[in-house]
Structure 1
Amino acid sequence: MRLFLASYRFGAHADRLLQLVGTPGRVGLIPNACDAWPAAWQSAVTSDEVPLRRLGFRPEVVDLREYAGAPDRLRATLAGFPLLWVRGGNTFVLRAQFARSGADAVLPALLAEDALVYAGYSAGACLLSPDLHGIEEADDPAEVRPATGVEPRWDGLGLIDRPIVPHVDSPTDPDGICTRLAARFRAEGKPHWALTDDDAVIVDGGAPELLN
Structure 2
Amino acid sequence: MRLYLSSYRFGAAADMLLGLVGAGARIAVVSNALDLIPEESRRAYARNVHDPLAALRDLGFAPFELDLRGYFGRPGALEQALEGVSMVWAVGGNAFLLRRAMAQSGLDALLLKRLAEDSLAYGGWSAGACVAGSTLRGIDLMDEPEAVTEAYDPAPIYDGLGLVDFVIVPHFDSDHPEAASVSAAWLAKQGIAHRTLRDGEALLLREGRLELVGEA
The equivalent of 2:197 in structure 1 is: 195
Provide the rounded CA distance (Å) in 1 between the counterparts of 2:57 and 2:4. 18
Are 1:119 and 2:120 an aligned pair?
no
Structure 1 residues 82-130: Cα deviation after superposition (integer angstroms, max 9, x where no partner)? 1211101100000111111011111110111111111111000100111
| Length, aligned pairs only | 210
Q: How does 1:46-65 map to 2 (within 5 A)?
A: 47-65=51-69
SS of equivalent residue, structure 2 residue 93: coil
Indicate how the Cα distance of structure 1 residues 145 and 51 shifts in structure 2: closer, same or farther if over 3 A, else same.
closer
The equivalent of 2:43 in structure 1 is: 42
Gaps of 5+ in 2: none
Aligned-pair identity in percent equals 44
Q: Which of the residues 79, 94, 97 maps onto 2:98?
A: 94
SS of equivalent residue, structure 1 residue 120: strand
Gaps of 5+ in 1: none
Provide the rounded CA distance (Å) in 2 between the counterparts of 1:141 and 1:184. 16
Q: Structure 1 residue 24: deviation in Å? A: 3.1
Q: How does 1:109-188 map to 2 (within 5 A)?
A: 109-144=113-148, 148-171=152-175, 173-174=176-177, 177-188=179-190
The CA RMSD measured in Å over matched residues stands at 1.8
Larger displacement relative to structure 2 (78-87 or 46-55): 46-55
Q: Retained in 2: the 8 A contact 1:36–1:146?
A: no
Indicate how the Cα distance of structure 1 residues 108 and 167 shifts in structure 2: closer, same or farther if over 3 A, else same.
same
Larger displacement relative to structure 2 (143-152 or 128-137): 143-152
Q: Which of the residues 186, 202, 212 maps onto 1:210?
A: 212
Return the TM-score normalized by structure 1: 0.91
Provide the rounded CA distance (Å) in 1 between the counterparts of 2:212 and 2:33. 24
Q: Structure 1 residue 184: deviation in Å? A: 3.4
Which amino acid in structure 1 is aligned with residue 65 of structure 2?
Answer: V
Provide the rounded CA distance (Å) in 1 between the counterparts of 2:92 and 2:33. 6
Larger displacement relative to structure 2 (7-16 or 137-146): 137-146
Q: Which of the residues 69, 73, 79 maps onto 2:73?
A: 69
Which amino acid in structure 2 is aligned with residue 184 of structure 1?
Answer: W
